[in-house]
Structure 1
Amino acid sequence: MTVNSYTPAGRPAPFAIPTDSLIGDAWVPSASGKRIKIADPATGAVLTSVADASVDEAMGAVDAAEAAAAAWAATAPRKRANILIACFHAMMAEQEWLAHLISLENGKALTDARGEVAYAAEFFRWYAEEAVRVNGELSVSPTGGNRILVQYQPIGIALLITPWNFPAAMATRKIAPALAAGCTVILKPAEETPLTALAVAEIMRRAGVPAGVVNVVNASDPGPVCSAILHDPRVRKLSFTGSTEVGRILLREAADQVISSSMELGGNAPFLVFDDADLDAAIEGAMVAKMRNAGEACTAANRFYVQRGIHDAFVERLSAAMGALTVGPGTEPGTQCGAMINRASIQKIERLVADAVSRGAEVKLGGQTLDRPGWFYPPSVIANVQPGSEILSTEVFGPVAAVIPFDEADEAVALANATEYGLAAYVYSEDLRRALQIAERIECGMVAVNRGLVSDAAAPFGGVKQSGLGREGSHHGLIEYCEAKYIAVSW
């Protein structure tokens, strides 16, 4: 069978990227012949297309995952670890090529894309190390009547649904722990950025991952496809990264078969700067927390609460720093802020900024869509954002910083917690005691103190409230793909 494929221009390619569904050991075109067009956000031009999988093809992926499940679960942890470390080295060997591919289909700057590839590959290395450390437990019953033996077993076939903003890292953050635990998977990438996921899957095949352990399907209408998979009793795990709205729908779907669900959902991260903060460090951290991936990240700082004594200086410095960034196609070496993913993203940003301005906010930088091909919005700073502005309650997912002054610490904490989300937060203060006290009071799963980056493969990533369920990364991320089995024994 001829495999449909795509070779991105501009970089030497280690292989042509298959653009069909990966089912078992074969790349399978859609039986209907339907394809999903993939656009370059920097130009709007179509790059290529990928197979649009039907429910039948999705069920084929479940069949393939089931066929491989028993052998993979029985594979020695050290052998699984060796395969994962081979995936790490294979990804890093193609870092530049993968970064170029990510920039092409996602729009992000090459510097961000290189960072993503390194972060994505790190999950293979981390879980190669964790695969051999799924330790059980042995204890004596309090009554002395029996021993309590606990062992961790693979939970089963997992459906992994990933977003477009980190097409490599969100895939490996789910695939690596699942494989380390002994599970087989079906990956459903975002419709906007499937090429990176397909390239990673091919790299994994070449690195020695057995057929059927990793399967990939794309769908222009993912609802029926994901529903069919989740209603198959062989599927026992769902891991989703995306919006809270879609997460709620998937949780309802998963409930019918009582499927274990991990959800990494929306964010609305507050960035708190106190008067005693190191202003240089706060600006440096703000640029990372806000402008990583041009603001298209669930951990991106959305609401900047700055104590009044330092507020004006912070706004001035942040505006200067963001205004100095070069905006352009992500594949161009000098670009620091790339394109947004699509026109709908631009329209959402425009709406949020217009609403804030109509309520009295001041545009200090940017605030207008750039008149050029592609989907670009400039780095923007809006100050004195008023209560009730939609931008304070809605994830921007773009390069816009909303700045609000505060007076007292209790006020800052109340403002930070005034959201249904609770993923990440940032606190800047030279008083470490106060910073840690504030960190404990903020309702979120992750807090960065005097730094603008929280993501780390070795750390538990996840949120509270409507930002999600469960954790990814660290040892916690591996246990998400395990079932604890208790065996009562007497001797």
Structure 2
Amino acid sequence: MTAHTDLPLLPNFFAGRWQTGTGRGQTLLDPVTGEALVRVDNTGLDLAEGFTFAREQGGAALRALNYGQRAALLGAIVKVLQANRDAYYDIATRNAGTVTKDSAVDIDGGIFTLGYYAKQGEALGEASVLLDGERIRMGKDPVFQTQHVLQPTRGVALFINAFNFPSWGLWEKAAPALLSGVPVIVKPATATAWLTQRMVEDVVKAGVLPAGALSVVCGSSAGLMDQLQPFDVVSFTGSAETARIIRSHPAVAQRSVRCNIEADSLNSALLDPAASEGGEAFNLLVSEVVREMTVKSGQKCTAIRRIFVPRALYGAVAQAIGAKLAKTTVGNPRHEGVRMGALVSREQYDSVIAGIQHLKTEAEVLVDGSAVALVDADPAVAACVAPTLLGTQDPVGAKVLHEVEVFGPVATLMPYDSEAQAYELIRRGEGSLVASVYSEDPAFIARAAAELADSHGRVHAISPDVAASQTGHGNVMPMSLHGGPGRAGGGEELGGLRALGFYHRRSAVQASSAALDVLCAPRAAFGVTP
């Protein structure tokens, strides 16, 4: 992105003060109209100063509070964000090209997650240490025992975030970090950095957090990893290629900085082999696939990318999905009749178009998004891609379809010939964030969950009895684990209080019962619930 020096330059909040970069910066654009909006830049920032300030000032101030007091800070952030929701929706429309319901997934989803952790932390009360398990005798005499405890790491949490969720991507990580007592430095993806920057600005100006507890650096990520020290942590969401660079960085490889990665994920949807055309499970799968292809224009790490159905239903499923997708209007999110907006940039548009061509080397086009006319948007300018459904009759012989994720409104339909083959094909994704199962049979759901749980961070089972209450294949809820093994990055986030583990250090304290009583009072047990 080139710079437009007459545009406003968003300031960074770093080292406890607002700072603008000294370079020309990068320009953020409206992905529908191409309008230049604002600039971001961090050239000239003293990175060492900012990390030291957060580590020493922000960290010390947060650790001086107990869990209940830090939970109250999260609750105060929620109030600040709720008071400014209208501004956030406007920024999302202009900078991310999302329709209102898709903006809500990001904005209200982030606020909801903060509120959830505020309540979880409130239940921890006055505790200043978390207990991990019961005391263990070290010998016959019970006077000398071991107690495993969890204490906040005395470092900083660096978040290098993705472009698709500038709000939720910040707060789903920051909520457990701040509750744990660990200061946050967020580096949002440049293309959609405006929303993240504005939210941090509102929280900082409201004065609800100690100095150094929350910082934002917009623009280049150069040099950020170099600042990390042994007790810091880094969390990254993005491509597998960048993830490999982070894992090989000396901070991780040599200084043992704790690292959490969320990368590519070829998530699957599986229809019960006993399903019938037009049956409840059939219709549930069709509806969920269409929703996952269109929400956020398919720009979700949890979106359905591969759809596995019994071979006899391949044609019927393709036709049913196509009929629903035909009703999806694509274009300018400001237009009342538009259901799906744009990708975040023309660069992402080019990537998705190239990705579709790559997948077409092994698949045929079942629903052609390129034939869809845009509403109130110039196809030569707008980063709009209509939903594209691909299909293959030979998923066993395919390779690219099980290896390449196209990050947009694209999915591939694949038939299977046996239940065992379906599981094998799904596992060829080599680890995913989520697989969803559609069935009217609890026994099949249980079998599928047992088969797929080892290679997925989440198994989402949709049956008629939960159709109205299920939260959605791609909707990440704070009480459930978010992450996945293998290609999905091998990381874990959320999962209730489990998320706090990443920001704590576990130690075994071997001492007398009397000393342990003093150390662990007040205390709280670390587990699924407070």
TM (norm. structure 2) is 0.84
Which residue is equivalent to 1:456? 477
**Alignment match of 1:21 (pick from 12, 20, 29):** 12
Which residue is equivalent to 2:527? none
Which residue is equivalent to 1:208? 208
Which residue is equivalent to 1:321? 324
Does residue 469 of the first structure (1) align with residue 467 of the second (2)?
no
Query: How far has the Cα of 1:52 moved from its partner?
Result: 2.7
Matches within 5 A, 1:47-62: 47-54=37-44, 56-62=45-51
Does residue 425 of the first structure (1) align with residue 435 of the second (2)?
yes
Which residue is equivalent to 1:412? 422
Matches within 5 A, 1:83-98: 83-98=73-88
Query: How far has the Cα of 1:40 moved from its partner?
Result: 1.1
Which residue is equivalent to 1:264? 262
Residue 78 of structure 2 aligns to which amino acid in structure 1?
A: F
Query: How far has the Cα of 1:123 moved from its partner?
Result: 2.1
Which residue is equivalent to 1:42? 32
Does residue 139 of the first structure (1) align with residue 149 of the second (2)?
no
| Cα deviation 1:133-153 (Å, max 9, x = unaligned) | 363144132534521123221
SS in 1 for 2:173: helix
| Cα deviation 1:199-254 (Å, max 9, x = unaligned) | 1112322161122111111233x2x3223222x45x51111111122112111212
SS in 1 for 2:150: strand
SS in 1 for 2:264: coil
Query: Is the CA contact 1:36–1:52 (under 8 Å) kept in the aligned structure 2?
Result: no
Query: Is the CA contact 2:152–2:182 (under 8 Å) kept in the aligned structure 1?
Result: yes
Which residue is equivalent to 1:13? none
Structure 1 CA distance for aligned equivalents of residues 362 and 57 of structure 2: 59
SS in 1 for 2:437: strand
Structure 2 CA distance for aligned equivalents of residues 466 and 136 of structure 1: 33
Which residue is equivalent to 2:528? none
SS in 2 for 1:472: strand
Query: How far has the Cα of 1:84 moved from its partner?
Result: 0.5
Query: How far has the Cα of 1:454 moved from its partner?
Result: 4.3
Query: Is the CA contact 2:163–2:188 (under 8 Å) kept in the aligned structure 1?
Result: yes
Does residue 81 of the first structure (1) align with residue 68 of the second (2)?
no
Residue 177 of structure 2 aligns to which amino acid in structure 1?
A: A
Structure 2 CA distance for aligned equivalents of residues 464 and 340 of structure 1: 27
Structure 2 CA distance for aligned equivalents of residues 203 and 367 of structure 1: 40
1:360/1:240 CA distance change after superposition, 3 Å: closer
Query: Is the CA contact 2:434–2:473 (under 8 Å) kept in the aligned structure 1?
Result: no
Query: Is the CA contact 1:291–1:300 (under 8 Å) kept in the aligned structure 2?
Result: no
Structure 2 CA distance for aligned equivalents of residues 381 and 44 of structure 1: 27
Query: How far has the Cα of 1:362 moved from its partner?
Result: 3.4
Matches within 5 A, 1:51-450: 51-54=41-44, 56-65=45-54, 66-132=56-122, 133=124, 135-137=130-132, 138-141=134-137, 143-144=139-140, 146-155=144-153, 156-205=155-204, 206=206, 208-220=208-220, 222=221, 224-230=222-228, 232-233=229-230, 236-253=232-249, 254-274=252-272, 275-276=274-275, 278-359=281-362, 361-367=364-370, 371-384=379-392, 386=394, 387-388=397-398, 390-442=400-452, 443-450=455-462
Structure 1 CA distance for aligned equivalents of residues 432 and 339 of structure 2: 28
Query: Is the CA contact 2:114–2:171 (under 8 Å) kept in the aligned structure 1?
Result: yes
Q: Identity of paired residues, percent?
A: 24
Structure 2 CA distance for aligned equivalents of residues 437 and 99 of structure 1: 42
Structure 1 CA distance for aligned equivalents of residues 392 and 506 of structure 2: 51
SS in 1 for 2:135: strand
Query: How far has the Cα of 1:338 moved from its partner?
Result: 1.1
Which residue is equivalent to 2:518? none
Query: Is the CA contact 1:41–1:107 (under 8 Å) kept in the aligned structure 2?
Result: yes
Structure 2 CA distance for aligned equivalents of residues 418 and 24 of structure 1: 46
Query: Is the CA contact 1:356–1:389 (under 8 Å) kept in the aligned structure 2?
Result: no
The Cα RMSD (Å) is 2.4
Residue 197 of structure 2 aligns to which amino acid in structure 1?
A: L
Which residue is equivalent to 2:511? 489
Query: Is the CA contact 1:59–1:228 (under 8 Å) kept in the aligned structure 2?
Result: no
| Cα deviation 1:55-90 (Å, max 9, x = unaligned) | x43223202202222121112322211111111122
Query: How far has the Cα of 1:396 moved from its partner?
Result: 1.1
Query: Is the CA contact 2:24–2:41 (under 8 Å) kept in the aligned structure 1?
Result: yes
The answer for unaligned runs of 5 or more in structure 1 is: 1-5, 8-16
Structure 2 CA distance for aligned equivalents of residues 392 and 380 of structure 1: 17
Which residue is equivalent to 1:11? none
Structure 2 CA distance for aligned equivalents of residues 29 and 368 of structure 1: 44
| Cα deviation 1:385-414 (Å, max 9, x = unaligned) | 644363442111111221111121111111
Q: How many residue pairs get matched?
A: 472
Residue 57 of structure 1 aligns to which amino acid in structure 2?
A: D
Residue 135 of structure 2 aligns to which amino acid in structure 1?
A: S
SS in 1 for 2:130: coil
Structure 1 CA distance for aligned equivalents of residues 365 and 265 of structure 2: 24
Structure 2 CA distance for aligned equivalents of residues 405 and 82 of structure 1: 51
Query: Is the CA contact 2:303–2:474 (under 8 Å) kept in the aligned structure 1?
Result: no
Query: How far has the Cα of 1:360 moved from its partner?
Result: 5.3
Structure 2 CA distance for aligned equivalents of residues 280 and 97 of structure 1: 38
Query: Is the CA contact 2:9–2:20 (under 8 Å) kept in the aligned structure 1?
Result: no
1:480/1:415 CA distance change after superposition, 3 Å: same
Query: How far has the Cα of 1:326 moved from its partner?
Result: 1.4
Residue 214 of structure 2 aligns to which amino acid in structure 1?
A: V
1:302/1:27 CA distance change after superposition, 3 Å: same
Query: Is the CA contact 1:95–1:114 (under 8 Å) kept in the aligned structure 2?
Result: no
